[in-house]
Chain A
Amino acid sequence: MTDSQTILLATLPSPPAKAALPPSSIAPAKVAAPAKPAEPQHSNEAIERSIIDQSARGPVLTFFSTAIFWLLVSTVLGYIASKRLHDPDFILGPEWLYRMLGVDGLFRSIFDSNFTYGRVWPAYNTALIYGWCSLAGMGVATWLIGRLCRVAIQAPAVLQLGAWFWNAGVAVGVIMILGGHNTGLEYFEMVRGARVLMFIGYLCIGIWGLILFRYKRTVAPYISVSYLVAGFFLFPWFFGAADLLSSAPTPGVMKNVVNAWYQGGLFNLWFGCLGLASAYYFIPKVINKPIYSYNLAKIGFWGWVFLGGLTAMTKLSGGPVPAYLVTISVAASILSIIPIACLTVNIGRTMIGHTDKMASSPTLRFTYVGTVFFAIAAGLGVLGALRGVDSFTHFTTWDYGVKHTLLMGFFSMVMFGAIYYITPRLVGCEWLSRTFIKLHFLGTAYGGATIIALFLFGGLAAGFTLNESAVDASPSNPGREFIFTNVMANGGWQHVIRTYIGYVFFGVAQIIFAIHFIFMRLRIGQPAGEPTLMSNPGEAH
């Protein structure tokens, strides 16, 4: 072991002995056989893999189930938020029923005060980002680390505990936001207590990630390992530092600067790294061929890790912050074309001649489409950083479009692909229905794309009118100033389509997915052994 590693690991608790662990009071993991990393050398690889999978079973399924719960919550909140923009006084659900039950007054007042756009929107983002995306990402990452380093998880209960702490934090955060406790910092709206719970949860999870890495027996030559380590290692720093600095009593725009910096870490490094780790593992795995170029992947990795933390200040362009921050971010954004290109070329090259497998393998289809969305999201990020584009898109929903490309298009897709691969290996049966998987894919892809496209185009449209000179306006020709007073009349169509096509399609797809996942947990599915493909390999083409 090298020095820097010793230093790092010295700060971590040494892997506790089994007896010293907290009793697994919450959802005890059924570990078939406590895996002893030293033993299985002579057993063959398949048995070893199943031992590792068994050890990961409890925590990973907890991650997935709770993540899917938050996915459903966030879609409902997203629907409400989106509908609020074109129908600001609506109530969710059948009003006649509420009236019949005599709760219409109650619903009205809850909706009027707790579900206004300004409260549902942050609640939605929190549920999506910290609920669904982060939990799914940590679940997939836990499983991947075990696989890649060939070690079994020795204390699944700690991970479980971490998962529940994290969940509690998110729940507190979301409920408090709806109740009006908002920090005033975008994507970091959870109250301090919620953040502390999440951080404790993260420590249980992330430290295990690093310990597993430390006890690796081999490291499969996958760039995924680097991405996982980067994601797991960087997130707590960004999160912790942002937490401390946002709670510090120092007033002034530093808080906004820190918040923008944190967003860079959250979106580029946390979600970027976890998602890419998964993509770089599953794509070669499913097509059974190594990645096109390992060196290219490495350049991409280092480029992304160094530039990812520097690009976020474009969010404050023109704002009351030192101008060089924005300049640096623009430069970093432009440079990040290099890692993005490396990744795109690498994955594209790897896939050459194998795209037909997408017709049958759900994992490949979700993961590959997700990776394409990554290239789009990152490309849009670069585009939006350019001064000429930023002058139109600043302060519009364009930014939401870019973030949703990353969260819904890229990250969620890749996570779905991974969940389709991992779950059967944990529960011992295959997915029940290929129709369900197909519907899930279609709803997610088209619903998600609609949401994204309308945020982007709505942003552009609003940006052009916002930028128009206001001076020649007169009462007979009120000018474009009144995009504001006419939001619903002029730009309303974008909100309407986003709600009824985007969020409804996306939401229905996720309900199907959730039902399918519940079936899996009840072990209702196809017999193990033959993966559920979306079409029989023969009929694919």
Chain B
Amino acid sequence: MDKPSTLFTGIFGAFLVSTSVMVLLPNSQLSGLQPQIVWEEGQNSPSDMYPVKIEHSLGHRHGERIYVENGCYYCHTQDIRDPQFGPDIERGWGARRTVARDFIYNDTPLLGATRMGPDLGNYGWRDSEGKRFWRNEQPNDPTKPAVRDAAFIYKHLFNPRARTEASNCPSNPGLFEKHDIGAGVSPDAVAVEGKKQWLPTAAARNLAAYLLSLDRSHELKEAPVAKSKEAKK
């Protein structure tokens, strides 16, 4: 065995090396990140700024919380990678790769663990017609609606298998409540049982709002929007 002094010094040295290279160094680089600001001449306020620190409404934060609580990030990433790493952009998951600057206002960026389901990092991003579909979904395919709005998300959250038989995205009946059908079936209702309808709770509404707010397509100088195939769409 080494002398105890050598042993302890060595082990502590290993820790120091690891910490400085893997934590302190990137921290010095990342902690200074600011939003990208564009000034136009003669203006006294920036004409463009990204990302914007909206004082996220309680609802939005709550939605993100629900996303974490239910472990959506084990199956869904929010991390679009450069084309050299895989066809993320080709699939229509995002307009460009995600970079550190996208997350400067995120408490815990939910980059995600696996892609058992599709990437959701730009779920709220829409094409010029206000539509959203994965790259190889055909706009007129009835089983895959091109419009992904809150009502669509509610249905999906309530029971993903209603639309996609072989999906293993978990159903979350806990996010819905039974209500009486008073004046009529609400457009948000996900199921009707006799005189009752299932309606989203506040948690489900906030989660849907959160998902629809995900849009990291704003052009950044370190991550230009990929033009080629997207433009042809």
Decide whether A and B assemble into one complex: yes
A residues bordering B, Cβ < 8 Å? 1-5, 8, 84-86, 88-89, 109, 112-113, 116-119, 121-122, 180-186, 213, 219, 221-223, 225-226, 229-230, 233-234, 237-238, 241, 245-246, 250-258, 260-261, 264-265, 298, 302, 305-306, 308-310, 312-313, 316-322, 325, 328, 391, 394-397, 399-400, 462, 466-475, 478-479, 481, 484-490, 492
- A163: min CB distance to chain B, Å: 24
Give A8 to B54 CA distance when docked, in angstroms: 47
Name the contact of A226 in the complex, choosing from B2, B13, B137 (C-beta under 8 A): B2
> Which of B17, B21, B22, B169 has the most CB atoms of chain A within a 10 A radius of its CB?
B22
List which B86-104 residues lie within 8 A (CB) of chain A: 86-87, 90-92, 97-104
Q: Are A310 and B17 in contact (CB under 8 A)?
A: yes
| Other-chain residue from A3, A86, A261, A313 in contact with B168 (beta carbon distance below 8 A) | A86
For this complex, into which size category does the number of interface residues on chain B fall?
35 or more
State whether the Cβ of B213 lies closer than 8 Å to any Cβ in chain A.
no
- Bits for B114-125, please: 1 = Cβ < 8 Å to A, else 0: 111110000000
Asked if B108 and A471 sit within 8 Å, CB to CB, the answer is no
Question: Is the CB–CB distance between B1 and A471 below 8 Å?
Answer: no
Q: In the complex, A226→B8 CA distance in Å?
A: 9
- Given A84-B168, A109-B174, verify A473-B136 contact (CB < 8 Å): yes
The answer for the CA separation of A183 and B73 in the assembled complex, in Å, is 11
* Closest-CB distance, B126 to chain A (whole angstroms): 19
By a CB distance below 8 angstroms, the chain B residues around A241 are 19, 23
Given the interface pairs A4-B5, A219-B1, A309-B17, the reply to whether A394 lies near B85 with Cβ below 8 Å is yes
CB distance B17 to A251 under 8 Å?
A: no
Chain B residues in 8 Å Cβ range of A225: 1
Name 5 extra pairs, CB < 8 A, besides A117-B74, A219-B1. A5-B8, A222-B1, A234-B14, A252-B31, A487-B116
Closest to A213 in B: B4
* Nearest residue, chain A, Cβ from B216: A320
| A274, chain B: closest CB distance, angstroms | 14
Q: In the complex the two chains form, is A484's CB within 8 Å of B167's CB?
A: yes
Chain A residues with CB under 8 Å of B7's CB are: 226, 229-230
**Across the interface, which residues of B come within 8 angstroms of A473, CB to CB?**
135-136
Residues of B within 8 A of A468 (CB): 87
B26 touches A321 (CB 8 A): yes
Do B11 and A305 have beta carbons less than 8 Å apart? yes
A467 to B115 Cα, complex, angstroms: 11
Determine the distance from Cα of A479 to Cα of B33 in the docked complex, in whole angstroms. 39
B173 within 8 A of partner (CB): yes
Distance of A260 Cα from B113 Cα, bound (Å): 11
> Do B69 and A182 touch across chains, with their CB atoms under 8 A apart?
yes
List the B residue with the shortest CB-CB distance to A231.
B11
Q: How far is the CA of A319 from the CA of B9 in the complex (A)?
A: 34
Residue contact B1 to A486, C-beta cutoff 8 Å: no
Q: What's the Cα separation between A312 and B135 when bound, in Å?
A: 33
Q: Which of B37-45, B75-83, B177-185 contacts A (4 or more CB under 8 A)?
A: B75-83
Cα-based distance from A399 to B165 in the complex (angstroms): 27
Question: Quick one: closest B residue to A312, CB to CB?
Answer: B22
Q: Which residue on chain A has the smallest CB distance to residue B66?
A: A180
Chain A residues whose CB sits within 8 angstroms of the CB of B114 once the complex forms: 395-397, 399-400
Cβ A261 vs Cβ B22 within 8 A = yes
* B residues at A contact (CB < 8 Å): 1-5, 7-15, 17-19, 21-23, 26-27, 29-31, 33, 68-75, 77, 79, 81-82, 85-87, 90-92, 97-118, 134-138, 141, 161, 164-174, 229
Given contacts A109-B174, A474-B138, contact A467 B22 (CB under 8 A): no
Contact A245 B23 (CB under 8 A): yes
Q: What is the CA–CA distance of A488 and B118 in the complex, to the nearest angstrom?
A: 15
With most chain A CB atoms within 10 A of its CB, the pick from B72, B114, B173 is: B114
Does the CB pair B103–A466 fall under 8 Å? no
Given contacts A254-B26, A261-B22, A309-B14, contact A396 B115 (CB under 8 A): yes
Identify A317's interface contact among B14, B15, B85, B99, CB under 8 A. Answer: B85
Does A320 contact B23, Cβ atoms closer than 8 Å? no
The answer to whether B10 and A251 touch across the interface, beta carbons within 8 angstroms, is: no
- Bound-complex Cα distance A213 to B5 (A): 12
CB-nearest residue of chain B to A210: B8
The answer to whether A255 and B108 touch across the interface, beta carbons within 8 angstroms, is yes
Docked CA distance A397–B12 (Å): 33
Q: Are A469 and B71 in contact (CB under 8 A)?
A: no
Q: Which listed residue (A255, A484, A485) contacts B109, Cβ 8 A?
A: A255
Using Cβ atoms and an 8 Å threshold, which residues of chain A touch B86?
Answer: 318, 391, 394, 466-467
Picked from A5, A116, A306, A399, the residue with its CB within 8 Å of the CB of B71 is A116
- Are B113 and A88 neighbours in the complex by a CB distance under 8 Å? no
Contacts of A233 in B (CB 8 A): 8, 11-12
Q: Which 6 A-B pairs have the closest CB atoms?
A: A118-B71, A309-B18, A473-B136, A113-B174, A2-B5, A318-B81
Q: Which residue of B lies closest to A495 (CB)?
A: B168
Q: Which residue of A lies closest to B79 (CB)?
A: A319
Chain A residue at smallest Cβ distance from B12? A233
| Closest residue on chain B to residue A237 by CB atoms | B15
B14, A305: Cβ atoms closer than 8 Å:
yes
Q: Are A88 and B161 in contact (CB under 8 A)?
A: yes
Q: Are B164 and A470 in contact (CB under 8 A)?
A: no
- Note all chain B residues with C-beta closer than 8 A to A251: 103-108
* Least CB distance, A4 to chain B, in whole angstroms: 5
